[in-house]
Structure 1
Amino acid sequence: MDQFTYDERGATDRPFPERFDGGWPSGYTVMVESHELPADDPSAPFVALTEGILAWELHRRAGLTMQPDAERAAPGVRVVSGLGVGPARIKAPCRVIWAREPQLDGAGRATPGQRGGFGYGTLPGHPVTGEEGFYAELTADNRLVFICSAYSVPSSPLFRLAAPVTRLTQRYVLSRYVKAAQELAGLT
């Protein structure tokens, strides 16, 4: 089993109502993006978004290739994502650290005050070292929010030189994640 490329694991595991404005390992660049997805009744969109995140569809719809060891994200599952085309494709191996399924009440509706999704950490060969989390949140006051968090540093001197491009690429992919989250929730 591939070893993680960093020691500070698990900081993306933030069950509701844990906040995202602190508690990150020092020495990393931290990114947290939160986007409310307006819905009249957010229960079904929350479940659909969580299921899409766990089934790798968020990533696929954002334009990444995904080669997972399993159909759903679960602790221990290895996945290699890819961005680019042909020989210019950058491969990014990761292993899932935590995953959270949607919690439903007796009527099959999502209970407010929860987050679903998963977080994964980098393995050898990834261009950065660190962790990323993907969350569907159903707030206590019944709003749907998509959140992405990451803490990372370049994995090698070459990638340190390319850090500005890497950050731009991360921002671009994040914008694609937001669009994919809206689609998965059925809100486009």
Structure 2
Amino acid sequence: MMTSGSDEQRLRSLVTAKVTYAEQGATRAVLPAGYHHVHRDVLLGKGRVVFERAAEGLLGWRMHRDSGMSVTASQPTAVPAAVAVLRWGLGPVTSPAPCCVVYTVDEPDRRGFAYGTLPGHPVRGEESFVVRLEPDGEVRFAITAFSRPASAMARLGAPVARRVQKLLTDRYVRALRELAAP
């Protein structure tokens, strides 16, 4: 998908915006009550090469792009405070999903990031993506999220939004598996 000039303008206006939820960083530990929770942990493959390829694809926004989203980002990689406007949809019907990277993970055997929702996102919450190289050589990918509708209109569409979230999670996994393959 192509990025639009309006997403570039939106991105500039969001650089100083605050996340739309109080529990910033909560995907690192216990997820807060009152939200829909997502926990997904999958095997990507084995070995350092798979780990490095997965981490590079994740941190460079490739996983998102290869899952069918357009990404307009303030930084070429996911770094703290980077802002991105993500879009996914069918044909001309897309919805902007602005978010900000709230933390990153940069350890020898764990890499990833979490982003939180910004004003204009259809939900409020946070999603983390972490690739890890286990001691036995397995490379695993974990997605952890908490979210709830950001508006009355979004609350009406919550059941559909959960199905879309599951579909996107599946697409993230598929895209990262392909990016990680040696």
Q: Give the TM-score, by structure 2 length.
A: 0.87
- Report if aligned partners of 2:44, 2:50 keep a CA contact under 8 Å in 1: no
Aligned residue number for residue 166 of structure 1: 161
1:69-113 Cα offsets, whole Å, 9 max, x none, are: 01000000000000114541111000001112352xxxxxxxxxx
Aligned residue number for residue 54 of structure 1: 59
1:93 aligns with 2:98: yes
1:2 partner letter: A
* Alignment map for 1:71-110 (pairs within 5 Å): 71-85=76-90, 87-101=92-106, 103=108
Unaligned runs of 5+ in 1: 15-22, 104-113
1:109-139 Cα offsets, whole Å, 9 max, x none, are: xxxxx32111000000001000000111111
Aligned residue number for residue 152 of structure 1: 147
Cα distance in 2 for residues equivalent to 1:47 and 1:12: 23
Cα distance in 2 for residues equivalent to 1:132 and 1:69: 18
Unaligned runs of 5+ in 2: 1-15
1:6 aligns with 2:1: no
Aligned residue number for residue 32 of structure 2: 25
- Report if aligned partners of 1:50, 1:116 keep a CA contact under 8 Å in 2: yes
Which aligned runs of 4 or more in structure 1 are off by greater than 3 angstroms? none
- Report if aligned partners of 2:72, 2:85 keep a CA contact under 8 Å in 1: yes
From 167, 171, 182, the counterpart of 2:177? 182
Cα distance in 2 for residues equivalent to 1:37 and 1:48: 11
* Aligned-residue RMSD, C-alpha: 1.3
Which protein is richer in helix relative to its size? 2
Size of the aligned set, in residue pairs, is 167
Cα distance in 1 for residues equivalent to 2:21 and 2:38: 17
1:7 partner letter: A
Aligned residue number for residue 11 of structure 2: none
Q: Give the TM-score, by structure 1 length.
A: 0.85
Structure 1 residue 13, shift from structure 2 partner? 3.1
Cα distance in 1 for residues equivalent to 2:33 and 2:179: 34
> Sequence identity of aligned pairs in percent?
39
Cα distance in 1 for residues equivalent to 2:171 and 2:91: 20
- Report if aligned partners of 2:69, 2:88 keep a CA contact under 8 Å in 1: yes
Cα distance in 2 for residues equivalent to 1:140 and 1:120: 27
Aligned residue number for residue 124 of structure 1: 119
